[in-house]
Chain A
Amino acid sequence: MLNVQGLHLWRGDRHVLRNVSFSVEPGRCALLTGRNGAGKTTLLRAIAGLLEPEEGAVTWRGAPARATRDAFHAETVYLGHEPPLKGDLTGRENLGFSVGIRRAVTAAEIDAALTRTGAREFADRQVRTLSAGQRRRIALAGVLLAEATLWLLDEPTTNLDADGQQLVAELAADHLAKQGLIVAAVHHSLPLPADRVVGIELAA
């Protein structure tokens, strides 16, 4: 369903992505591994449509993702290094906005998602008073609430304790079980059923 073909991307003079090709089917997860600077974040951003590759194409459901951009984005959720949250708003208010602009969401749904990611107790404090791990838990609730088919995750376990890392693995597994797709950049592998994982190693 997600097809990346012959992707080449330069950042300035650096040839960051060289002929990257892979595909992901429903229920599968592509794990991007590689050293720092290998281009994992660049690849995720290129798939998300934030970066334009010089050559190659990303296709979603058979159509070029660029051409059907809004429809593609409606089915995709991207979680970068830094959870995108406004410091002056509470976690709940942040989610109300970031999910609300995608689909109508009720307070009960937000509550349920926050409970699932263990963020409910600090959801009504301003985000700038929260630790990095707490922010990530709120961001993960946002990923759940987006009800997206494709998850693009850049190092989703950053700043999380052992419980949190377990949580990410569970959420990922649930999503795959519902025939969702995941492309995740990780430093250490995610504990997922091996038959659902495609490993992509990026060379620096």
Chain B
Amino acid sequence: MKTPALSVAVLVARRDLRLAFRKPSQLLQPLLFFLIVATLFPLTLTPELSRLRDAAPGVLWVGALLSSLLALEFLFREDAQDGTLEQFALSGQSLTWMLFAKTCTHWLLTGVPLALAAPLAAGALGVPTAAMPGLIAALLLGSFAMSLTGAISAGLTLGARRGGVLLSLLSLPLAVPILVFGADATQRAIAGDDFAAPMYLLGAIAVLGITLAPLAAAAAVRIGLE
């Protein structure tokens, strides 16, 4: 009897979680990268917290984007290299669904820690404590959207030479809306204003991503496996 879809998703998630915990350095690197980037900005701008606070939304979100680009390398590349991604495509199960499960697990391992660690960087940039919950919420939603759209670019660059750099170039235009709304939400949170509007828009992008991105990623992976 064919394995039901939910079990397939659980199996995929369990496998990826197991693999991640056996090589934890892969997870820590993007996170460390984010924190380092956040440190570089004060060094290059100013130590004044009040001025850093103005730049904080931009620094945090660009840092999050760069970190997620690094992390995207781990989404498909290894599986493509050792042939296990092929097994996904040949399993008779929906590749779209399996890749969605994979992307969600990837987000749990990279986006969520980043969002939770962001207050560290944000505090160092002069962001008030009251703004932290809003920051975390925006980064959770934004990093999820970035993982979804990143899965498309990751799938497309599977067959490409020097895919890593190309991955960044492809992901940037797709990430612009996420950056704009995410940074706006953070800015409003810092100012103490209501940040519901940009959050709804982030949410809308995430929903669009959930419905379309795994489909596109599956198509991209099948092309990449040829």
Given contacts A74-B2, A103-B2, contact A85 B91 (CB under 8 A): no
| Minimum Cβ distance to chain A for residue B10 (Å) | 9
Q: How far is the CB of A170 from chain B (nearest CB, A)?
A: 24
Q: Which of these binds chain A: B11-19, B36-44, B156-164, B176-184?
A: B11-19
Q: Given A49, A71, A89, which contacts B19 in the complex, CB threshold below 8 Å?
A: A89
Nearest CB in chain B: distance from A77 CB, A: 8
Contact A102 B92 (CB under 8 A): yes
1/0 per residue B66-83: CB within 8 Å of A? 000000000000000011
A35 in contact (CB, < 8 A): no
A77 nearest CB neighbor, chain B only: B90
Inter-subunit contact B83/A84 (CB<8 Å): yes
Cβ of A71: which chain B residues have Cβ within 8 Å of it? 92
Partner of B3, one of A84, A86, A89, A100: A100
B86 contacts which of A50, A87, A101, A102 (Cβ < 8 Å)?
A50
Smallest Cβ distance from A167 to chain B, in angstroms? 21
Q: Is B90 in contact with A50, judged by CB distance below 8 angstroms?
A: yes
* Range class of the A interface residue count: 20 to 34
Complexed CA–CA distance, A104 and B3 (Å): 6
Please, what's the 1-or-0 string for A77-100, where 1 marks a CB less than 8 Å from any CB in chain B?
A: 110101111111100010001101
Q: Is the CB of A102 within 8 A of B2?
A: yes
Residues of A with C-beta under 8 A to B82: 82, 84-87
CA distance A85 to B81 in the complex (A): 11
Docked-complex contact B19 and A88, CB < 8 angstroms:
yes
A101 to B3, CA, bound (A): 6
Instruction: Tell whether B213 is near chain A: CB-to-CB under 8 Å.
Output: no
B80 to chain A, nearest CB (A): 11
State whether A48 touches B90 (Cβ < 8 A). yes
- Interface residue A196 (Cβ < 8 Å from any Cβ of B): no
Is A76's beta carbon under 8 Å from chain B? yes
Say yes or no: A84 contacts B23, CB within 8 Å: no
Interface size of B by Cβ–Cβ distance < 8 Å? 28
- Pick the contact of A101: B1, B12, B22, B23 (CB < 8 A): B12
Complex formed: what's the CA distance from A178 to B86 in Å? Answer: 27
With beta carbons under 8 angstroms apart, the residue of A50, A98, A102, A103 that contacts B225 is A50
Q: How far is the CA of A9 from the CA of B183 in the complex (A)?
A: 49
**CA of A80 to CA of B83 in the docked complex: distance in angstroms?**
8
CB distance from B224 to the nearest CB of A (A): 11
B226: CB under 8 A from chain A? yes
- Asked if A177 is at the interface of the complex by the 8 Å CB criterion, the answer is no
Q: Is B116's CB within 8 Å of the partner chain A?
A: no
| Cα A140 to Cα B176 with chains together (Å) | 47
Q: How far is the CA of A48 from the CA of B19 in the complex (A)?
A: 28
A76 CA / B89 CA spacing, docked (Å): 12
Q: A70-B94, A101-B8, A102-B92 are in contact. Are A85 and B3 (CB under 8 A)?
A: no
Known A89-B15, A97-B11, A101-B98; judge A78-B226 contact (CB<8 A). no
A80 and B86 contacting across the interface, CB-CB below 8 Å: yes
Q: How far is the CB of A35 from chain B (nearest CB, A)?
A: 23
Cβ-defined contact, A52 with B3, below 8 A: no
The interface residues of chain B lying within 8 Å CB-to-CB of A120 are: none
Please tell me if B84 contacts chain A, counting CB pairs below 8 Å: yes
Instruction: A97-B14, A101-B12 given; name 20 further pairs at CB < 8 Å.
Output: A48-B90, A71-B92, A73-B91, A73-B92, A74-B92, A75-B92, A80-B83, A82-B82, A84-B86, A87-B82, A88-B18, A88-B19, A88-B23, A97-B11, A97-B15, A100-B7, A100-B11, A101-B98, A102-B93, A103-B3
Which residues of A pack against B, CB within 8 Å? 48-52, 70-78, 80, 82-89, 93, 97-98, 100-104
A-B contacts, 13 of them at CB < 8 A, read: A50-B86, A50-B89, A50-B90, A74-B2, A76-B90, A82-B82, A84-B87, A86-B82, A86-B84, A88-B22, A93-B18, A97-B14, A101-B91
The 6 closest A-B pairs by CB, nearest first: A74-B92, A84-B83, A73-B92, A88-B22, A84-B84, A97-B15
